[in-house]
Amino acid sequence: MDLASGFIESFLLALIPLFVAMEPIGVIPVYHAMTRGMDARQKRVVLFYSILTAAAITIAFLMVGRAVFLALGITISDFQIAGGLILLSIAIVDIVHTARGYLNVLATPGVGIVPIGTPLIAGPAALTTLREDNRLYWRERGPGHLEGHLASPRGNSRHDDQEGRRIAPLRGFPSTDLGHGKRP
């Protein structure tokens, strides 16, 4: 029973920040506005494309995101700033088009890919949260390698943060290891 409760706790600790970052409730009005002139079948196609795009981007980012960041010398902060600028530019274009009366969106299934699939669902916040969840809840043995933390007894594995310091165990207990490599 302890393994099951540890899994549920870890699952929720990883899911809640990702749910907040993806903000599915905030995407609903955008989806509704962009599919207003479509029939039910076209709306399902847009929904399928948006979910498929978001899933493909997040899985690809999870697998090779660290390697790409290392190869290009990009930090998480750089990624957050660039993603914020992209979303800002989309918001400005949307505001300008609304002010000029360009309210019609081209009703094609492609709106499921951009802007709904990415950057709205799988945007900078979601990808950054996914990267941090990956760093905290999974061991990384190299670019793209995933090994679940449940492989260790009771899921109590310890990890290093970006500066090489030890962080607390995953089960929420405070760490007495202050970066000196000694285990309590």
129-154 tens-digit pLDDT = 888 887 776 654 444 444 343 333 33
The tens digit of pLDDT for each residue in 49-66 reads 999 999 999 999 988 988
pTM value is: 0.67
* CB count in 10 Å sphere of residue 67: 12
Range ranked top by mean pLDDT from 31-45, 135-149, 155-169: 31-45
12 pLDDT above the threshold of 60: yes
Whether the upstream peptide bond of residue 174 has omega within 30° of 0, thus cis, is no
Give the mean pLDDT of the chain. Answer: 76
pLDDT on residue 1: 58
Under 8 Å between Cβ of 124 and 79: yes
pLDDT on residue 103: 62
The ranges assigned to domains in the chain are 2-151
- Strand residue runs (E) in 41-176: 138-139, 147-148
pLDDT on residue 174: 41
pLDDT on residue 36: 85
